[in-house]
Amino acid sequence: MDKHTAVFRRKIIRIIMLTAAVSIMLAGCGRGYDTKDGASTLDAAQNTWADDFTQGNSEGQQEADDTSKIIVIRDDEADNTIIADDFYDKDSGPEESLVEDANDADDNSTGSDQENCGEGEEDSGMTDTDLEFYAEEISDELFAKMQGKSFKEDCTIGREELRDVHVLYVDFDGQTQKGEIVCNKAIAEDLTEIFEELYEAGYPIEKIRPVDEYDADDEASMADDNTSCFNFRFISHTTTVSNHGKGLAIDINPLYNPYVKTVNGALNVEPANAAEYVDRAADFPHKIDESDLAYKLFIQHGFTWGGSWKNSKDYQHFEKDI
């Protein structure tokens, strides 16, 4: 199924399971379900739905009958686990088993249902934020924007090796924004996890856009303080393909964390407008050093930092050898 359908379905399942958990908890407080075989039939499920979720509504039973999707709940007394047996479509029958162990009640409980009332609250382990951090294959629409820009004719990496990573981030104004990162599939999960932790910590990032929005001009992207990953190109002043060209490196807040190297006796700074941030002993915001959260997270995920290089310094840069 496509991404939007999957996200919507996960939200619906979550709502249904939370509602079901409340229903079973109320049953434990004195309104037990007395349905044959644990309400394993469609009729029993409809009756339960009508009794508990449309209580006091004169049209409740009719609403239950008209519901196209009915979830069948069994209260497994052996381990106090609420299980969603099947997700029924009244026209086609059981569709698939969706969720097991949606609500883990008190496993050690031996008292009556009345004594256990209120225990074992449902926790799916999933938040709405989780749905905003994910990776997918490069769509035709995105690839069309990349061709001739970040994905050049002589690109040595295939489209199928790349992923489109979607994230949230906190910008310099403290506002939540959506970001998009094209990277190698080998680090897609790393980036998803790292950027989710950065977001939850309120770590400020000015921009996160595909470099194609700058016509794959790395200098322009860095000068605009844009955080980006894949761009087929060579390492500055060499003929070696950059790890950015493989989608295995990412630059974070590059304006405040420039690339610095002495070339033919002259100091080279990229981006050129970052000269004031070359002195790393100076105190200024958004500086990446070994005490910085981004540094710590990337190192934990097996990346190396360009700020540790000997012959040059690339303070914005993190890469992973695969």
**Shared-domain flag, residues 100 and 134:** no
- Domain membership of residue 115 (yes or no) is no
Q: pTM for the complete prediction?
A: 0.62
**Shared-domain flag, residues 84 and 140:** no
Cα 119 to chain centroid distance, Å, stands at 30
Q: How far apart are CA 57 and CA 40, in angstroms?
A: 25
**Shared-domain flag, residues 200 and 245:** yes
- Domain membership of residue 122 (yes or no) is no
Q: How far apart are CA 147 and CA 142, in angstroms?
A: 9
- Domain membership of residue 308 (yes or no) is yes
pLDDT in tens, the chain (322 residues): 455 554 555 566 566 666 655 555 555 544 433 333 444 333 444 444 334 434 444 444 444 444 434 343 333 333 333 333 333 333 444 344 333 343 443 444 444 443 444 444 445 455 566 679 999 999 999 999 999 999 999 898 999 999 999 999 999 999 999 999 999 999 999 999 999 999 999 999 999 999 999 999 999 999 999 999 999 988 767 778 889 999 999 999 999 999 999 988 999 999 999 999 999 999 999 999 999 999 999 999 999 999 999 999 999 999 999 8
| DSSP assigned state of 187 | G
**Shared-domain flag, residues 62 and 195:** no
Q: Are 94 and 86 in contact (CB under 8 A)?
A: yes
**Shared-domain flag, residues 80 and 158:** no
- Domain membership of residue 118 (yes or no) is no
**Shared-domain flag, residues 195 and 249:** yes
If one counts every other C-beta atom within 10 angstroms of the C-beta of residue 100, the result is 10
Structural domain total, the chain: 2
What CA–CA distances, in Å, run from 140 to 163, 184, 247? 12, 17, 18
Amino acid type, 160: E
What CA–CA distances, in Å, run from 176 to 244, 271, 287? 26, 26, 20
- Retrieve residue 139's tokens: 């769509």
Give every strand in the sheet of 266-270, ordered side by side: 266-270, 259-263, 313-314
Boundaries of domain holding 66 = 3-104
**Shared-domain flag, residues 88 and 136:** no
- Domain membership of residue 201 (yes or no) is yes
Q: How far apart are CA 179 and CA 163, in angstroms?
A: 14
Q: Which of 175, 146, 178, 149 is nearest to 162 (CA)?
A: 146
| DSSP assigned state of 125 | S
**Shared-domain flag, residues 87 and 139:** no
**Shared-domain flag, residues 9 and 153:** no
- Domain membership of residue 121 (yes or no) is no
